[in-house]
Structure 1
Amino acid sequence: MVQHPTLPARRLCLLTLIAALAVLVLWHQPAAAQDAGGQFLGAITDALSDAPAGSDERATLSGRIIQMIALMTVLALAPGLLVVMTSFTRFVIVFSMLRSALGLNQTPPNMVLSSMALFMTFFVMQPVFEDAWQDGIQPLMNNAITEEQAMGRIGDPFKRFMFANTREKDIALFADIAARSENAPVPTGPVTAETTGWRILVPAFMISELRRAFSIGFLIYLPFIAIDLIVASILMSAGMMMLPPVLVSLPFKVIFFVLIDGWYMLAGSLMEGYVPLVGG
């Protein structure tokens, strides 16, 4: 028997469709979207302000409204931006693979691993956040620059960080696909963070992070697999075939990880892969 979607589900699907259409309009017709946004902003400004048109007071109010809309947009997109533009992806994947290699199902819990990855991400990204604040957000709040200039200055530190941690091979892959999709010649010459667009840099950075995270996870798995093999061989030679080897090897893997100070070594190696690049 086919069940029809409920009213909230229909509304959610409708809102998702409207949002998708809005994104397509912004992507393919930026000029029309800018004109519509300007008319909408003008209507809001007229409703909230009694100042005459063209006055400094009305211009300031328009800037504040744009800042408020931009802030709300950033807050709504913050979880996704945290994943695709920072080191959070590598940290959380490595920690998850470490837990699987140890054979622990829910220890440490997901909240602990996510929180540790989050604060390590803040530690690594602090120079980037400071540059974005000093060059873009603070001058914008002081009305020293326009919103368009602020967006460029806020994004530049993130572009430099992502470019420094992305393989040239990955950037070339998406640059070639983008050029072929637009029937344009493949760009030649030196590739820099300024000449690389967000459309190319973000997915290239993500697959570079996934590759490094899986490489680190592979190296983490090796010593624990060796312990499992040794324990399984001993149990087989002793005739205890009914005893699960994983159950016996678990405490040995845990004590091995503690004795080598694994958390210290893992956290240090993960962060050292970023900090020199950011500092340079």
Structure 2
Amino acid sequence: MTALLAVLVGPAAAQEISVGFGEDTTLTERAVQMVILLTVLSLAPSILVMVTSFTRIVVVLSLLRSAIGLQTAPPNMVMVSLALFLSAFIMMPTLQASYDAGVQPLIDGDIELEQAFERASDPFRTFMLSQVREKDLALFEELSGAEEAPESPEDLSMATLVPAFMISELRRAFEIGFLLYLPFLIIDLVIASVLMSMGMMMLPPVVISLPFKLIFFVLVDGWNLVAGSLVKSFGGG
């Protein structure tokens, strides 16, 4: 998540940051606001993971590795890094819009912290609404127990939108993972049938099928297809 944060705050690296809490606030109120601000900043990587494309991408990559039959290759660090940079590529317009709308005016001292948070979160809200399923939104809206239903999805609170978005992402990731599993499953079945017909039932089919699955993935340019399909699944490309 460091890469995403670097992209978001990079243009402000050489600027002096001054956060105003309002002239009428007391010392106690300012201390509480500062604690809240530091808490949000410490959780920023986790928050960005929850409201970006990272969840879908990292789950799909994990399912792909399992489908091929690899346990530790590519390593987790490589998989997470690839997911982070793909997420940064997909989320770049949203991150830039969030920075321009909320972070830059806050740095310039034009708006207060509360306004900056609202403005910075609006692009992420728009992104999540474009990906979330209506059924999942309805579920969490019902579970929230709100007395009055929002007039439009844009009026939903982040506490309702974020979990609905995440389970929508998990569903889509599993759907993509199922499609990735099919060709490798066919290879496993063919290899197992051949071994049984040859009377080699004591030889694990996985040992024989792994090289075939690897060469199949390389020949079809699998990484190119997977990365391209993931980006396009968010409306990119």
Deviation of 1:38 (Å): 4.2
Q: Tell me if 1:99 matches 2:55.
A: no
Query: What runs of 5+ residues in structure 2 fail to find an aligned partner?
Result: 1-24
Greater Rg over alpha carbons, structure: 1
After TM superposition, list the pairs within 5 Å mapping 1:217-228 onto structure 2. 217-228=177-188
Cα deviation code 1:49-75 (max 9, x no counterpart): xxxxxxxxxxxxxxxx96x76663333
CA distance in 1 between counterparts of 2:125 and 2:43 reads 17
Query: Is the contact made by 2:52 and 2:91 (CA closer than 8 Å) also made in structure 1?
Result: yes
Corresponding residue pairs, total: 213
Aligned sequence identity (%)? 53
Q: Which segment is superposed worse, 142-151 or 70-79?
A: 70-79
Amino acid at match of 1:81: I
Q: Tell me if 1:89 matches 2:77.
A: no
SS at match of 1:208: helix
Q: Tell me if 1:132 matches 2:98.
A: yes
CA distance in 2 between counterparts of 1:72 and 1:119 reads 26
Cα deviation code 1:170-211 (max 9, x no counterpart): 1011111213xx5x25x275x332x11111101100100000
Aligned residue in 1 for 2:123: 157
SS at match of 1:271: helix
Distance 1:205 1:222, change over 3 A: same
Amino acid at match of 2:39: T
Query: Is the contact made by 2:55 and 2:169 (CA closer than 8 Å) also made in structure 1?
Result: yes
Aligned residue in 1 for 2:143: 177
How high is the TM-score relative to the length of structure 2? 0.84
Deviation of 1:274 (Å): 1.6
CA distance in 1 between counterparts of 2:127 and 2:114 reads 21
After TM superposition, list the pairs within 5 Å mapping 1:10-159 onto structure 2. 38-41=26-29, 72-159=38-125
Query: Is the contact made by 2:55 and 2:170 (CA closer than 8 Å) also made in structure 1?
Result: yes
CA distance in 2 between counterparts of 1:134 and 1:188 reads 28
| Higher normalized contact order (CA 8 Å, seq sep 6+, divided by chain length) | 2
The correspondence for 1:248, drawn from 193, 208, 227, is 208
Query: Is the contact made by 1:90 and 1:210 (CA closer than 8 Å) also made in structure 2?
Result: yes
Query: What runs of 5+ residues in structure 1 fail to find an aligned partner?
Result: 1-36, 45-64
After TM superposition, list the pairs within 5 Å mapping 1:174-213 onto structure 2. 174-179=140-145, 182=146, 184-185=147-148, 187=149, 191-193=152-154, 195-213=155-173
